[in-house]
């Protein structure tokens, strides 16, 4: 598979979720995303309205997180969080699932949670575009069997993507991305620890069609270096 520069840019969700981030950091993130041509920015819920304003009229999507970072909120709270984010201008929601439901094999509750958030986000009357929902599994904290089950349930619940990690623990691995891709018909977002072209290439080859990273500019820089050195030819 040959990966063009335009394709690589389009699948990067340039991420800023640090609790200490200030509005100037959000401005820089959005400016960089527009200048480079990233597919989306992924920011904190409180930054959605401002980011939507900054990115109005561009091709950069606004993504935010729900239930971040542990996924332990009540289902109603996650529904409200997703609804508010869409009202503020988000067109992509990355929701952290409740691992307790998965670990206790309460699959009915897990499906209810994912379906409730997904349906309310997608059917929000204030949505500015079709809403994409990604379910964050936190693969580093799950067994392979649990990952497979979570992927199947996410698909049944109507999600669009499954995502590896929040970045709070271990990051994405080739094994987990491949397993997720094989377990369902959803797209896969790899997130956590993707810092350069070598990392990105491995995730794409494993099946990821989105990359969540704060190192998008460096990924592009090292991509160009690989082409210049002849270690990667497009």
pLDDT of residue 126: 81
pLDDT of residue 19: 95
pLDDT of residue 232: 84
Query: What tokens does 29 get?
Result: 């993130």
Q: What is the rounded average pLDDT for all residues in the chain?
A: 96
Question: Which position has the token pair 């499906």?
Answer: 111
Q: Which of 182, 204, 181, 179 is nearest to 194 (CA)?
A: 204
Q: Distance between CA 204 and CA 190 in Å, rounded?
A: 9
Domain boundaries of the chain, sorted by first residue = 5-229
**List of the chain residues with pLDDT < 70:** none
Q: Distance between CA 187 and CA 145 in Å, rounded?
A: 19
Specify the fold of 5-229: TIM Barrel (3.20.20)
Q: pTM for the whole thing?
A: 0.96
Q: Which residues are catalytic?
A: 94, 163, 189
Before 69, cis peptide (omega within 30)? Answer: yes
pLDDT of residue 1: 77
**Cβ(16)–Cβ(26) below 8 Å:** yes
Concatenated DSSP letters for 100-160?
Answer: HHHHTT-HHHHHHHHHHHHHHHHT-TT-SSPPEEEEE--GGGS-HHHHHHHHHHHHHTT-S
pLDDT of residue 231: 86
pLDDT digit string, tens, across residues 76-107: 999 999 999 999 999 999 999 999 999 999 99
pLDDT of residue 152: 98
Query: What angle is formed at CA 163 by the lines to CA 54 and CA 191, rounded to 5 degrees?
Result: 65
pLDDT of residue 170: 85
pLDDT of residue 110: 98
């Amino acid at each position: 598979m040959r990966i063009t520069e335009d394709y690589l840019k389009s699948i990067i969700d340039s991420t800023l979720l640090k609790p200490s981030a200030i509005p100037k950091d959000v401005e820089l993130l959005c400016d960089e995303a527009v200048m480079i041509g990233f597919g989306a920015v992924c920011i904190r819920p409180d930054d959605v309205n401002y980011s939507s304003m900054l990115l109005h009229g561009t091709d950069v999507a606004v993504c935010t997180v729900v239930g971040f970072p542990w996924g332990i909120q009540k289902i109603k709270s996650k529904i409200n969080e997703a609804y508010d984010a869409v009202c503020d201008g988000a067109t992509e929601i990355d929701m952290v699932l409740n691992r307790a439901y998965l670990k206790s094999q309460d699959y009915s509750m897990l499906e209810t949670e994912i379906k409730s958030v997904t349906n309310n986000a997608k059917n929000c009357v204030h949505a500015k575009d079709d809403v994409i929902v990604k379910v964050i599994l936190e693969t580093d904290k799950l067994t392979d069997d649990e990952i497979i089950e979570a992927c199947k349930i996410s698909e049944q619940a109507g999600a669009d993507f499954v995502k590896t990690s929040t970045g709070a623990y271990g990051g994405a691995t080739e094994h987990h991305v491949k397993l997720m891709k094989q377990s369902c018909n959803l797209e896969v977002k790899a997130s956590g620890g993707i810092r350069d072209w070598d990392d990105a290439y491995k995730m794409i080859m494993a099946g990821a069609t989105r990359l969540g990273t704060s190192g998008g500019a460096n990924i592009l820089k090292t991509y160009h270096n690989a082409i210049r050195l002849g270690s990667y030819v497009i």
